[in-house]
Structure 1
Amino acid sequence: MDEKAFYGLDPYHVTLATAGAAIILAYWLPRYFSNREPAASALLIGLGMAGFALIPGLPDVVDPRTSPRFWELTSEMAVIIALFGAGIKIDCVTNLERWKPTIRLLVIAMPLTIAAIALLGWAAAGLTVAGAVLLGAVLAPTDPVLVGDIQVGPPTEGGEHPVRFALTAEAGLNDGLAFPFVYLGLLLGATGIPSAGEWLQWLALDVVYRIAVGALGGIAVGWLLSRFLFAMPRGNPLAKTGSAVLALAGVLFSYGITELVEGYGFIACFAAGATLRRVEQDHEFHGRLHAFNESIEHGLTAILLVLVGGLFPVLVGELSWTTALIAAALIFVIRPAAGMLALLGTGMKGRDRLVVAAYGVRGIGSIYYLGYAAAHIEFDNEGELWAIVTLAILLSAVVHGLTAGAAVERAETEEDTGHGALPF
């Protein structure tokens, strides 16, 4: 046997070992130094960055400029699992007044965020119009994966504070609703200036049809799944088995079948989870479904965040002060300002509005959208787009990861005591 080959370091195996070590350390180190639950997102990215930078040649394994399909598929799985889980979590969806902040975030804050990022990318960073629109669409959604710590609690737990409800519902729906703008970026990249017919097709197909099919498909799958879990066969339904792997089956089926008929599978996954939750909604099986779903979500997220850290040694050369400014502006200015504007008139207290507006976490969903676009068309400035998105995720993980939990808990405490409302 060739001794050199026998002792050779396979980059794939080194990647696995690096990711595993980083995940263990990210969850162990905070407990070693404090008694608080770890804010693991930033640590996972940081340890991934350090591990991949110290091992020669390893970053080439995850370079998104040459392997965008890898990022598209891996992040896709994490997002759809998180969306289904978000739907299962929500105890009450029938109170329309509670949905008012979410609706405003979707129809006002998200388009404003897309427009602001696109304008900044085009005017300040010199991106093409197509690249700027794509960047806006990629960075606009609140991430359903990394926002988990500030969402509502597990099923049947109750106590869904307006801040947690708004962030959960927004994260559950805005990933799918950002997709039309991703398609718009692809259209601009392919045609330059779309014709009237192309604009009409985009509006009819990518906006109206795909959103409607995503919502209706998710509702239908959620109802059908509920029949198998709770009603058939009579007296011996699947819910009695305790087999929570059905949560993953529901995710895969709702996403796959909706995408096959050209609907938005992201919307379908959230709608399926929310619909399923309405049937026997106090049944303990919902808790088991959620726990199983959450375990898979956390595992996939941890691996992806380590790999996101591994992107920095690859992409740092693509960053400039201008492009870095876009990522910082999104986290510190654009999203908070758009959120505060959108939430005017919703009846939320000032501090609650500030928390919801400020904690639009960016994460794995942005990776998916950019991976999807890059796998379908070749963009100018593609390396810069990856660098901006990766930096935005890092900033969000640090800023939001270290402060969001405490901010939401404070909002809940102040509501209980009646103190702390801001005068606007």
Structure 2
Amino acid sequence: MDSYIVVITIIGLAALSMAWVPAMIEKSFLSYPIIYLLIGVIIYSLPLELPFPDPLWHEDYAVHLTELSVIVSLMATGLKIRRRFSWKNWKIPLQLVSVTMLLSIGILAFLGWWWLGLAPAAAVLLGAVMAPTDPVLAEQVQVGPPDDAEEDDVRFSLTAEAGFNDGSAFPFVWLAIAMAVGASTGEGWFTEWVLWDLVYKVIMGVAIGYGLGRGLAYIIFYLPKGTAFPETRDGFVALSATLVTYGLTEMAHGYGFVAVFVAALTMSSYEEGHEYHTEMHDFVTQIERILMVILLMLFGGSLVTGLLDHLTWSGALLGLAFLFIIRPLTAYIAIYKDHCSTREKVAISFFGIRGIGSFFYLAFAFNEANFDDADGLWSIVGFIVMVSIVLHGVTASRVMDYLDMSRRRERRNKRRLASGSTGKSYRDEQV
């Protein structure tokens, strides 16, 4: 049987099932990323002659497929954030993408070098690829679509963090690449890394993203009002905007991840109540889910075809320490003085979901430079992502439901106290 026909049939069936699976398991302890990860494990355990999924041998396809998935997810993430940008509104996510991310990179890099015996460049790369949270797999702990009025601090903070830190981690991936190249050539690299990779590329990403976001918002929302310019309500405009923004920014040697998220945020800040934001968000979310299904099944297949072959007990313990100790602790340190409740701070700290973005960064770095510990890094990263998908997948819905119930209970208590102070009973107020 032609393997190509088998592949497109499996992808079609998996994508079709996404129309019902999320709703079917909504009340269960499972998340649909776990379901499709298991499907990948099962189908690659069968004699179907499917394409070999292990990214160790196909780093080019791993780069481009994960790259596409992440930029589409970044557009969807930016379009659904409704909170205006300011230090007061964005304090928690900005602390997470600065303090938490830098601490995570530093601690993982040190432990990778000191405990695992990795070369310095490989140790820094491990920290850099694991530092960003994932916008693709974190739907259960993110804010809803643009027409959803509910936006609590936990969901907003995790959504904004996932949008920002995918681009914020890129300079440190380039730091690892520069260290690896410098170690082999003996040439200096620090000044160029600071000026080019840390400063120029970030500035270009923000500038191009903001400029294109404003331009697209003007064309979509304002230009048709005062001129004969045709109005559009096609959701695919969001996907087109994603590809154009990413492509132009990369051509200008900026960070395309940063640009896509900034462009989405900028577009969503115009005509905030307009239903077209929901139309664009829903379209790119559907594309995101199809890509996610493919990647999760490939990841599941890689788990049974060699991805974890180079995992050591030390690497596994480091991965568990990162998920259970390093991420929660560094996040809580960053936000412990903020206004939200302790249980909300614990939830924000715990749900540092890792996923597709880490695979992109790792494959990208291996295409740019030679790292002696490449196989071991793939195994450690694969293990961390696997555990994260299962761990956060089985806990997310229950924790978020608990937080929602706690907030509703607190609001009811406040209304009772307020009604009592005005001489009304709570029952009278409800009537």
TM score, norm. by length of structure 2: 0.89
Q: Distance in 2 between matches of 1:194 and 1:355?
A: 45
Deviation at 1:98, TM superposition (A): 2.4
Matches within 5 A, 1:97-108: 97-108=88-99
Question: SS of the counterpart of 1:317?
Answer: coil
Instruction: Report the secondary structure of 1:318's partner residue.
Output: coil
Which of residues 43, 59, 68 is equivalent to 1:51? 43
Structure 2 stretches lacking a partner, 5+ long: 412-431
Q: Percent identity over the alignment?
A: 35
Instruction: Quote the offset at 1:235 in angstroms.
Output: 4.9
- Paired residues of 2:146 and 2:277 also in contact (CA < 8 A): yes
| Cα-to-partner distance string for 1:91-147 (whole Å, 9 max, x where unaligned) | 122453221111111111101111121122222222211111111111110101111
Aligned match for 2:151, one of 160, 169, 174? 160
Match of 1:274 in 2: 265
Name the stretch that deviates more: 409-418 or 258-267: 409-418
C-alpha separation in 2, matches of 1:181 and 1:30: 35
Aligned-pair CA distance for 1:16: 3.8
* C-alpha distance in 1 between matches for 2:25 and 2:138: 24
Change (3 A) 1:34 1:62: closer
Q: 1:29 to 1:82 in 2, by over 3 A?
A: closer
CA contact (8 A) 1:231 1:237 kept: no
Distance across 1 between alignment mates of 2:409 and 2:252: 50
- Secondary structure class of the residue paired with 2:143: coil
- The Cα shift of 1:27 comes to 7.7
Residue 284 of structure 1 aligns with which residue?
Answer: 275
Counterpart contact for 1:145–1:301, Cα < 8 Å? yes
Aligned to 2:129: 138
Confirm or deny that 1:221 pairs with 2:212: yes
* Pairing 1:156-235 to 2, within 5 Å after superposition: 156-192=147-183, 198-233=189-224, 234-235=226-227
The verdict on how the C-alpha distance between 1:194 and 1:113 changes in structure 2, with shifts beyond 3 A counting, is farther
Aligned length: 409
Report which stretch shifted further, 195-204 or 67-76. Answer: 195-204
1:392 CA drift (Å): 1.2
2:372 aligned with 1:380: yes
Q: Is the 8 A contact 1:18 1:52 kept in 2?
A: no
Aligned with 1:340 (options 325, 328, 332): 332
Please name the residue that 1:306 is paired with.
297
Q: 1:12 to 1:406 in 2, by over 3 A?
A: same
User: CA offsets, 1:25-68, max 9 Å, x none?
Assistant: 7886787788549611112112201211333764x622212210
2:309 aligned counterpart, secondary structure: helix
Amino acid at match of 1:75: T
2:420 match? none
C-alpha contact (below 8 Å) 1:30/1:38 kept by paired residues = no
Contact residue 12 and residue 61 of structure 1 kept, 8 A: no
Q: Which residue of 2 aligns with 1:367?
A: 359
* Residue aligned with 2:169, SS: helix
Q: Does the aligned pair in 2 maintain the 1:42–1:397 contact within 8 Å?
A: yes
Kindly state the Cα deviation for residue 195 of structure 1 after the two structures are TM-superposed.
7.9
Q: Which deviates the most, 185-194 or 260-269? A: 185-194
Cα pair 2:99 2:334 within 8 Å, conserved: yes
8 Å CA contact 2:56, 2:307 repeated in 1: no
Tell whether the 8 Å contact from 2:53 to 2:301 is kept in structure 1 after alignment.
yes
1:322-354 deviation line (CA, Å, top 9, x unaligned): 112222122111111111111121222110110
Deviation at 1:232, TM superposition (A): 2.5
* Displacement of 1:255: 0.7
- Which of 27, 32, 35 is 1:40 aligned to? 32
Q: Who is 2:241 aligned against?
A: 250
CA pair 342-261 structure 1, distance change in 2 beyond 3 A? same
Deviation at 1:410, TM superposition (A): 1.8
> Per the alignment, do residues 196 and 345 of structure 1 end up closer, same or farther by CA in structure 2, a change over 3 Å counting?
farther
Match of 2:397 among 394, 402, 405: 405
Local SS of the residue matching 1:360: coil
Runs of at least 5 residues in structure 1 that lack an aligned partner in the other structure:
1-8, 420-424
Letter in 2 for 1:128: A
Shift of 1:242: 1.8
Q: State the one-letter code of the partner of 1:317.
A: D
Distance in 1 (alpha carbons) for counterparts of 2:286 and 2:255: 25
Distance (Å, rounded) in 2 between the aligned partners of 1:118 and 1:393: 18
Q: 1:380/1:11 Cα in 2 relative to 1: closer, same or farther (>3 Å)?
A: farther
Query: Could you tell me which amino acid in structure 2 is paired with residue 70 of structure 1?
Result: Y
| Whole-angstrom distance in 2 between the partners of 1:161 and 1:253 | 32
- Label 1:72 to 1:354 Cα distance change in 2 as closer, same or farther (>3 A): same
The structure-2 alpha-carbon separation of the partners of 1:49 and 1:23, relative to structure 1 and needing over 3 Å to count, comes to: farther
Change (3 A) 1:138 1:160: same
Cα RMSD after superposing both structures? 2.3
Is the deviation greater in 371-380 or in 27-36? 27-36
In structure 2, how many angstroms separate the alpha carbons of the residues matched to 1:268 and 1:378? 28
Deviation for aligned residue 1:182: 0.2
* Code of the aligned partner of 1:132: A
Give the conservation status (yes or no) of the 8 Å contact 2:73–2:136.
yes
TM-score normalised according to structure 1 size: 0.90
Greater alpha carbon shift after TM alignment, 352-361 vs 227-236:
227-236
In structure 1, the residue corresponding to 2:42 is in which secondary structure? helix
